[in-house]
Chains A and B, each alone.
Chain A
Amino acid sequence: MTDRKMAMSIQCALISQIKMLQLLFCLSYFVILSSAVSRENFKTCEQSGFCKRNRAMQPGQSPYIALVDSLQVQANSLNIQLLNKNNNVRLKLEVFGLQDNMFRVKINELSPIKERYEIPVGDSLIEEPKLHNINLSQKDKDKVVFTMDSNKVVMSVEPFRMDIYSNEDPVISINAQGLMKFEHYRKKEEAPPAENEEEKPEGEEKKEEENAAETKTEEEPDMWEETFKTFTDSKPHGPSSVGIDVSFPGFEDVYGIPEHADTMALKTTKTTDPYRLFNLDVFEYELYNPMALYGAVPLMYAHNEMRTVGIFWHNAAETWIDISSNTADKSVFSHIADFVKGNNEIPQTDTHWFSESGVIDIFILLGPTPSNVFKQYARLTGTTPLPPLYSIAYHQCRWNYNDQDDVKSVDANFDKYDLPYDVIWLDIEHTDGKKYFTWAHEKFPHPEEMIKNLSVKGRKLVTIVDPHLKREDGYSVYTDARDKGYLVKNKDGNDYDGWCWPGSSSWPDFTNAEVREWWTGKFSLSEYKGSTPDLIVWNDMNEPSVFNGPEITFHKDVKHMNGFENRDLHNIYGLYVHQATMEGLLRRSGGKERSFVLTRAFFAGSQRHSAVWTGDNIGEWSHLKVSIPMVLSLNLAGITFSGADVGGFFKNPEHELITRWYQTGVFYPFLRAHAHLDTKRREPYLLPEEHMNIIREALRLRYSLLPYWYTLFYQAEQDGLPIFRPLWVDYPKNKEVFRMDDQFLLGSSILAKPITDQGTTNTNVYFPGRHDIWYDIETYEVYDGGVTKNVAAPLDKIPVYQKGGSIIPRKLRPRRSSSLMYQDPFTLIVCLDQQGSAKGELYLDDYHTFQYRNGEYLLREFTFNNNNLSSKNIDPTGQFNTREWIEKIIIVGYPKNPLNISIKNFSGENSKRLDHKYNSEEKSLTIRKPGVNIADVWTITIE
């Protein structure tokens, strides 16, 4: 199936059902599209003026100098002017010391002729970052030196650069290569520069005159207008890009900057385009390349055995990042030369960041541990709030469940075949003519009743709400926005008119807080007819996707509020959409119930509002495989609640692939199966029994681990640590795992390596931690850490291991949905380490409201030491009454069959004997029915 055919099939969905006019348009649109394969719809660096200009910068020729005389120092910040020697334009550099071991470096024009866009505080950043004292320790004509705790910043004056040291080790250098470029706003030269070169200096201001000669040498064809394919970007404000290089001395590995369909460890871009961050709807995206995808988090970590550091590039414009490495880029020849010379060069990774507009605003995260950098980033942009339990269970989606009978029948079949699921989804066809907040009445005459039939089983319904509004006079959401002037404008100031699912569409300007406020109201039960409190929402196409726009998105000269263009803030538009949507759902319950929104587009901070999925993947083995590094990268960048569509969106995956995909997907923090309109139905109950049974087991594993997942999500809300995490996060000194992205950890206690290759019956698993041991969660077979072992992995086997030394609470009674498990008893799986000890936590609450923020929760800790297993409350501020109890404890790695086991409660009275069972082959000891409430304090003694 070719790209363009698929494109056609999307654009012309349900041709059979659309009217003749639409069909005609559809076909003519297809003709336009079909002139190119999908890749050609998107710019290369060479086709992007500012990318080309920045990439052409040569190292070692920086024209910027710091004007020491202008230095002003405050308690926790300093500012100084930078001068571009070539054009005499002055910039303002500010450096802030921040709490939690961070610096912030901001560079803006000293006196711009037009305000440069900065992302409002509260939108990506949760608040104005808290400042921390810095001390000026040296200031002379060559350099300025200041310190913050054990960190030191050396600012060289000419050329301007900053070197940051932690405990005297160089960790980050800024503009060390001298690639900084700051294109100041300027007036367009009226006459063509080539003709009257001599008469030039006639600017209104003196500065302009001074600059004129230099400015002109900077002139390049794309600066004031740029054409890509048939689209012309009018660029009314001219060139405005900002760029600078950031080096990580001593670091070979860098991670982050999602979203790319690529490996977790970022690659040198010497022979490719730079990694691109520009939210785009990329049809059938290609794998392992730096092309932009649906979302952008301009956050990068550098890691070595000593420390982890990071930088957050706080800019929402289109951004490209070049990466080079003195080790990776070295030719074989120079390696040999090094060997001969005995060269012991320190590895270094150099990065070069440039954005089309805005300011340079870099947060420097100095770690030094992995968990430190995650917390630092969390302090800036926030964490994922604890999701309601149902949302971390299994979601069943398809484009489309055709009508309410279809929904009923899918729901019934899940029960019939005893497959658990929590949420069923409705894609665009549920609406009346792709007008969101409406229902296709003939297919869904009684939506409330339909939802009620789901919610009695604890299930939810998702409807899709996209940001494009059909331009139809009878559609009140549109007319309301239009009449209020809330729609995004084109360069001429009229409502922007683009093509999307409904045909001719307009987009609310979500960057405007007033518009977001208006949007939240659309989700109230009275406004959104047919909705109930059990209806939740999915925002798709919010990059935004514009079928007939340049690169399938907005024109860059589209206008938002305050005179800013989409060029200035493109990457954050999608965040505003899902932020407002989530706010609407929260308001619906008066802020009592937690809710759920899924988004495709995202930016730094999206984690505070929505879950993210990796967009329109393909039902092929390669897409299953790449889903792991993609979700790892999202988790590293704070988007913990993320996953890929199980089964793949496009095409028809074979049964083995679907089965393996479920076995992988049950470890994605966000677990949803989805399928394209053109695909065959593939709900698990339609598969052969063998495959369905394996999928059922995989789903049951997910459900049985929900207490662990929920605890991880709670912890992630507190500390911002990734849930679905690469091994280096927990084993930061173990170089072997730095680039490992085919296996991963869930929290610290579960290691998984799902099979992502066809026909596999065994695989090599690396067990991390030289002093750790790992237990197969099914057979309790033991594996020593620090080695790679080949393990059997037939179709019904997922290589999953619990770490020795951990205690994982599970709920082993299968139910139809997670909410039916609220009161079910726990089983504690205690896996002993080499010292015979173990420890684990359990968080619980009512699983769906915000009452946990009022102290209605329990945070328990279980410890096993010296044959005593005890439970205690480790967070006294949390109190919660529940009927949940402990039905079983399995101690794995226990050496012998004990004689006697007894439990006593906190007061030490009522010691009660417990029955047990010992399996000497597995070395597992099962303690029968302690029967204590989960909130009880108790100790079990084994003799």
Chain B
Amino acid sequence: MLNSVLIVFTLLQLGSSENLSHPRGIPASKASFYRPAETFRCIQSGKTIPFEYINDDYCDCEDGSDEPGTSACPMMRYYCENLGHKPEYILSSRVNDGICDCCDGSDEFEGEKIQCLNFCEEIGRKDREEKEKEKKLQEEGSKIKLNYIQQGQKIREEKKARLDQVEKEKDEMTEIKSDLENKKTEAETPEKEAKERHEKAWEEEKAKRKAEKEKQTALIVFDEIDSNDDQHVEMGEIMAHSEFDIDADGTVSHDEAKEYLEELERVGRDDFIEKIWPNIKEIFKSKKSDSEAKGDKDSQSTEEKVPDLTPPVADDDEDDYDGDDDEEDVDKQRVSENQDVENKTPEEDEDKMPDYDEETKQLIAAADDARNQFNDADRKLRDAETEMNNLKSFLDLDFGHQDVYASLKGQCFEMTDREYTYKLCPFEKASQRPKSGGTETSLGVWGHWSGDETNKYSAMKYEKGQNCWNGPDRSAHVILQCGMENILLSASEPSRCEYQFEFATPAFCSQEDPNANKETHDEL
């Protein structure tokens, strides 16, 4: 069956195992199980089969142990000796399938489908070189890593120290603040009383002025209605004003006029002001020219505005009452502000409250001073609290063993591919922006370490990035590797909106042999 070319290789390379007189596909250490005898005992199941059934390309043992050198038992593994490189087990389903899996080619011993060359020496050498290189990298990197650890620890100590300090400052500040708060209250009580006094006086003054103004208006109207200037308003004069036509029949009747005149035939000035005017001021329309009338109305409306708390007019919607009222207030405030600022006519200046008296002013100044001091203390306290929180959350971050990654916080690393510039700010965020310009897209903020069970600190997860249209929030998985400096090596998007970065850093270097615990272990 063996092809002549292969025989050469077999004799040179594979023969060794045959020479050791144990069956194909097992390491020398297992030879004792396969000592020539009448029968063979399946290694795990214990079943006994004829010795010649070993490696006869039929699976007899349930554990597969009778076929270490063929593909007959799918659950079995084939041992490649791989002299010159390192030995390994392959799935026995890969024996004689036409693919050279072992570097010594021993898995394709039939030679029917393919003739494998032994290239163990070559790849062994390459592998050793790579390992050497890798080892060197790890060693060199580890030296830098020591600095990282020192830095990390230093940062932690500094932050801790600072936290202690800020905590102390905070306590002090809390006391000061409460002290200042008392002082503030003390200063504000007399201030408030003085201000209220002043304002009350002003309110009274304003009411007086308003009454006077009202009287003036009434007198003007009196003069207008009193068309015969007899210093009395008579029935006939009222009847001349069509607005007094209550039943809207086109004429002001005698009765109608009488009603407005409160059943009097004629009234003089004082009575008019006192009894008649309040009843007709809503109805009366001046017959004077527009300009004069306008002036009247203006004065009328400003007057009406003064008593802010006048109940709303009857047709106001009850449901909306509160809302409307609030809005109106706001509007009016704004209006009056505007008036204060923009329409500073002398007339309106009269309506302005006069300055506080000296005594009140002093009280206000004292209160302002107390308030400022208090606010200042309050701000400082809040600043301290913010800093404390920042320090605490920094100190709560897991920077890996011995805080080796702590010094990376606050730094950012970028790489650019064909289309995008990717940025990684460890323990903060990952992002992407188009090379051609444009806004940055968040690929996630720091989430957690996401390495596997063997090394939690081998990968980082950044999550809750900008939501993908019609998809998940963007996230980035950062796989770490040892390197002489911090470099973002690659960025890709294996699943939509799930990014993957490769990041090299001395912090990931290790002086332990990375392959130490991966040595081949026996299957049986």
Contacts and interface: CB of A to CB of B under 8 A. Distances in A.
Interface of A: 1, 5-6, 8-9, 15, 17, 402, 406, 418, 442, 456-458, 677-681, 812-816, 819-820, 823-825, 883, 887-888, 928-929
B220 to A, nearest CB: 66
Contact of A8 (B58, B72, B418, B470): B470
A651 to B, nearest CB: 11
Contacts of A442: 418
Contacts of B419: 17
Given A9-B469, A813-B74, A887 B57 contact: yes
B97 A815 contact: yes
A648 to B, nearest CB: 16
B471 interface: yes
Contacts of B471: 9, 678
Given A823-B113, A928-B58, A402 B492 contact: yes
Nearest to B496: A678
Interface in B51-105: 56-58, 60, 71-72, 74, 91, 93-94, 97-99
B58 A816 contact: no
Interface string B484-497: 00000000111110
Contact of B99 (A15, A457, A681, A825): A457
B72 A887 contact: yes
Contacts of A819: 98
B112 interface: yes
Contacts of B113: 823
B498 interface: yes
Contacts of B470: 1, 5-6, 8-9, 678
A15 B438 CA distance: 14
B71 A681 contact: no
SS class of chain A's interface: helix, strand, loop or mixed?
A: loop
Nearest to A824: B71
A814 B99 contact: no
The 7 closest A-B CB pairs, nearest first, are A820-B97, A929-B58, A681-B495, A9-B470, A814-B93, A678-B496, A5-B470
A816 B56 contact: no
Contacts of A825: 57
Given A678-B496, A819-B98, 20 more contacts: A6-B470, A8-B469, A9-B470, A15-B469, A17-B419, A406-B494, A456-B99, A677-B496, A678-B471, A679-B495, A681-B494, A681-B495, A814-B93, A815-B93, A816-B93, A816-B97, A820-B99, A824-B71, A888-B58, A929-B57
19 contacts: A5-B470, A9-B470, A15-B469, A17-B419, A402-B492, A402-B494, A406-B494, A418-B91, A458-B98, A677-B496, A678-B471, A680-B495, A812-B74, A813-B74, A816-B94, A819-B98, A887-B58, A887-B72, A888-B58
Contacts of A8: 469-470
A759 to B, nearest CB: 26
A402 B492 CA distance: 9
A820 B71 CA distance: 12
B169 to A, nearest CB: 48
B93 A418 contact: yes
Contacts of B495: 679-681
Contacts of A17: 419
A814 B74 contact: yes
Contacts of A9: 469-471
Contacts of A813: 71-72, 74, 93
Nearest to A9: B470
Nearest to B94: A816
Nearest to A401: B494
A812 B71 CA distance: 10
Contacts of B469: 8-9, 15
Contacts of B58: 887-888, 928-929
A682 to B, nearest CB: 9
A456 B100 CA distance: 10
Nearest to B75: A814
A1 B472 CA distance: 12
A613 to B, nearest CB: 22
Residue of A8, A677, A813, A823 ringed by the most chain B CB atoms within 10 A: A813
A893 B56 CA distance: 28
Contacts of A6: 470
Contacts of A680: 495-496, 498
A16 to B, nearest CB: 8
A430 to B, nearest CB: 15
A609 to B, nearest CB: 30
Contacts of B72: 813, 887
B496 A883 contact: no
A678 B418 CA distance: 22
Nearest to B471: A678
A816 B71 contact: no
Interface in B455-500: 469-471, 492-496, 498
A867 B316 CA distance: 106
A717 B309 CA distance: 97
Nearest to A456: B99
B56 A929 contact: yes
A931 to B, nearest CB: 8
A815 B471 CA distance: 37
A373 B20 CA distance: 66
A678 B74 CA distance: 37
A813 B99 CA distance: 15
B403 to A, nearest CB: 34
Nearest to B494: A681
Nearest to B71: A813
A928 B94 CA distance: 23
A823 B57 CA distance: 13
A820 B110 CA distance: 14
A823 B114 CA distance: 13
A883 B112 contact: yes
A824 B74 CA distance: 13
A9 B469 CA distance: 8
Contact of A823 (B94, B112, B493): B112
Contacts of A887: 57-58, 72
A9 B470 CA distance: 7
Contact of A402 (B112, B418, B493): B493
Residue of B56, B57, B97, B498 ringed by the most chain A CB atoms within 10 A: B97
Nearest to B96: A823
Contacts of A418: 91, 93
A888 B67 CA distance: 15
Nearest to A14: B496
Contacts of A888: 58
Interface in B225-254: none
Interface string B33-62: 000000000000000000000001110100
Nearest to A406: B494
Contacts of B93: 418, 813-816
A922 to B, nearest CB: 15
Interface string B329-357: 00000000000000000000000000000
Contacts of B94: 816
B297 to A, nearest CB: 54
A431 to B, nearest CB: 16
B243 to A, nearest CB: 60
Nearest to A681: B495
A816 B99 contact: yes
Contacts of A458: 98
A418 B72 CA distance: 16
A373 to B, nearest CB: 43
A678 B93 CA distance: 36
B515 to A, nearest CB: 18
B489 to A, nearest CB: 13
B493 A820 contact: no
B499 to A, nearest CB: 11
A9 B419 CA distance: 20
B360 to A, nearest CB: 65
A819 B74 CA distance: 17
A929 B97 CA distance: 20
Contacts of A929: 56-58
Residue of A5, A442, A814, A825 ringed by the most chain B CB atoms within 10 A: A814
